[in-house]
Amino acid sequence: MTGRLDAAVVLQLIGVTQQYGNGATSVSALSGVDLQVHEGELVAIMGASGSGKSTLLSVAGGLQQPTTGEVVIEGSFLSDQSPAQIAQLRRRSLGFVFQDFNLIPTLTAIENVTLPLELDGFRSRVARRAGRDALASVGLEDKLDAYPDDLSGGQQQRVAIARAVVGGRRLILADEPTGALDSVTGEMVLRMLRARVDAGAAGILVTHEARHAAVADRIVFLRDGRIVDESRRDGAEALLAGGSR
C-alpha cells in the first residue's frame, strides 16, 4: 500500500493483527487494531498481562512486522520500506524508553545518547552537542561522562529518555518506563515524557498504573489483543473506574 496521510497523524495502525504459530496452536497477540496518535498527543495503553500491550508497542515501532494490516509512521507505510529503510526510520524518528533502561554499560551517558546519531552519520561534534542538549533537558548536564553503573536508577532512566528524544524524534514509545523506579522518580520521568509530547512529539505509554495513565491525553484499553474501550482525558476517571470490570 502507498500514499500519505494527515501530517498531524504521526502514527497509525490500520487493521493490525499479530499471530504467533499456526493452526490449533496459533495465538493472536493483536486482532484488528486500529489506532491513530497525533503530534502533541500522549496515549496510554492499559490492559491485563498478556493483553497485547508490549506487542502493540513493538509493532508500532517497526521492531516486528504485523501478520496483517498496516503501520504508518509520519505518513510512510512500513510495508513499503526495506529493512534498512525501517532501521533508518527508527534511528531518525522513533525513541524507545524501556523499563530496564537498555543502556550500554561500557559507554558514558553522552555516548549512550549520541550513539543513534553517530550510527546515522552525524559528525561526532554535532552529535555530542545534540547529546549534551538532550541530557541538559533531563537535568543531567553534570553527568555527561558518567557510566551507567555510576548512576542511580532514576538517572539511568533519564539518560534513556534523553536518548529517546535526541535529534528531535517525533514518536516516543515507552514500555512501563517507571516500573523499576521509586514513586518520586517515576513521577519525574512521566513529567519529562509529558513535556516532550507537549513540545510536539507523539507518544505511547504502556502502563498498568491508573495514576500514570492519567497524565495521558487518551487512554486505550486492550483485552485479548483488541481495543475494547478508550477515553480522552476528560473522561479518564470514568474509564479507569470501569477498567477493572
Between residues 227 and 139, the one the model is more confident about: 227
Furthest-apart CA pair in the chain: how many Å? Answer: 56
User: What are the tens digits of pLDDT across the range 35-83?
Assistant: 999 999 999 999 999 999 999 999 999 999 999 999 999 989 999 999 9
Instruction: Identify the band that residue 113 occupies on the pLDDT scale cut at 50, 70 and 90.
Output: very high
- CATH top class, domain 9-242: alpha beta
Give all strands of the β-sheet with 68-73 in edge-to-edge order.
Answer: 27-38, 9-20, 68-73, 76-77
Task: Give the ranges where the chain is alpha helix by DSSP (H).
Answer: 53-60, 83-93, 109-119, 124-137, 153-165, 183-198, 210-213, 236-242
Say how many residues make up the chain: 245
pLDDT for 92: 85
Between residues 238 and 122, the one the model is more confident about: 122
d(CA 117, CA 128): 9
Residue 2 has pLDDT above 50, yes or no: no
User: What are the tens digits of pLDDT across the range 84-105?
Assistant: 999 888 888 899 998 888 899 9
C-alpha cell belonging to residue 227: 481495543
- Phi and psi at 148, nearest 5°, equal -50, -40
Handedness of CA 5, 37, 191, 136 (dihedral sign): negative
Cα 91–Cα 93–Cα 94 angle in degrees, nearest 5? 75
| Rounded CA Rg of the chain | 18
Comparing CA positions, the residue from 78, 98, 97 lying closest to residue 88 is 78
Residue 206 has pLDDT above 50, yes or no: yes
Q: Which residues contact 85 (CB under 8 A, 6 or more apart)?
A: none
C-alpha cell belonging to residue 3: 500514499
State the average pLDDT over residues 202-230: 93
Residue 243 has pLDDT above 90, yes or no: no
User: What are the tens digits of pLDDT across the range 7-28?
Assistant: 589 999 999 999 998 877 888 9
DSSP 68-101: EEEEEETTEEGGGS-HHHHHHHHHHHEEEEETT-
Kindly provide the residue ranges of all beta strands, DSSP E only, lying in 134-214, ordered along the sequence.
171-175, 202-206
pLDDT for 7: 55
